[in-house]
Amino acid sequence: MTIPAELLDCRGQRCPLPVIAVARRLPELPVGTVVRVLADDPAAAVDIPAWCRMRGQEFVGRITGPDGPGYDVRRSV
């Protein structure tokens, strides 16, 4: 299980805002850092993995927890 080093709470935000949040935060973190994006907009399930593919970042996976759906992204470059 991956333990995120950073948490971005984007619940209540419509896409593309969660993607924009991770795109702004990731470059400030060291390569290898995992960020968990909490996002309850159903579009995030498609948009976040697609953004990772386009930007060369690793989509670690989707999580479901008491805080709602989340998406783990590892900074690769």
Query: Which residues are tagged catalytic?
Result: 15
Residues in CB range of 24: below 8 A, 6 or more apart:
none
Q: Give which of 68, 42, 46, 69 is closest to 59, Cα–Cα.
A: 46
Q: How far is it, in rounded angstroms, from Cα 14 to Cα 27?
A: 22
